Chains A and B, each alone.
Chain A
């Protein structure tokens, strides 16, 4: 079945540092890929998405590129801020067995310090 693997957290960075959160996936065909962000005590918000190979999703300074050859969708940001502290979830929308289902990774907590 479909699965998503994310790097374990927490990831602790100083403000203005470069961020990478790794995400790899297993799925049949060409799934759509997503990054969601969850701030403390809240629901998830869509951060960015990519629907086909080599697409780059971007939003609020965050970027991720859909790499079919490495089955990866790593999240990057050039300069993080304290306000970026949250939990980040990588997810895929598969094409098999209930095609509307999102499969989520376990989430990576990011802490940004001054």
Chain B
């Protein structure tokens, strides 16, 4: 089955630690995205990548980093510089010019 996988579903970390969230897709989509969702808010774009080895900052990139070494993978690192890292993180991919984004199941990160 084609789709987007995110792991783990729940992640707990201590303040001051970096943590990497996994996102893998087997849809052969070129573009991939990371969003953050907070209660009562819409999704906010963190980073996106339209092609391997290239990525752009979204609206709230501070305290986050990404890499795109393979078409299938777009991991997100939440660094200790992110002031409020506790949130639900969603990864998405999109086929070129289709305008439809397909979302993974999300990772809920809790930092204490």
Contacts and interface: CB of A to CB of B under 8 A. Distances in A.
A102 B106 CA distance: 17
Given A43-B90, A100-B48, A100-B94, A32 B99 contact: yes
A42 B105 CA distance: 5
B99 A106 contact: no
Could you tell me the dominant secondary structure of chain B's interface residues?
A: strand
Interface in A1-54: 4, 32, 34, 36, 41-46, 49, 51
Interface residues of A, number: 22
Looking at chain B, what size class is its interface with the partner chain? 20 to 34
A100 B34 CA distance: 12
A66 interface: no
A27 to B, nearest CB: 14
Contacts of B104: 43
A89 B50 contact: no
B58 A101 contact: yes
B84 interface: no
A23 to B, nearest CB: 12
B2 interface: no
B100 A46 contact: yes
29 contacts: A32-B99, A34-B99, A36-B103, A42-B105, A42-B106, A43-B90, A43-B92, A43-B104, A44-B43, A44-B103, A45-B103, A46-B100, A46-B101, A49-B99, A49-B100, A98-B56, A100-B31, A100-B33, A100-B94, A101-B45, A102-B33, A102-B101, A104-B44, A105-B42, A106-B40, A106-B41, A107-B40, A107-B41, A107-B42
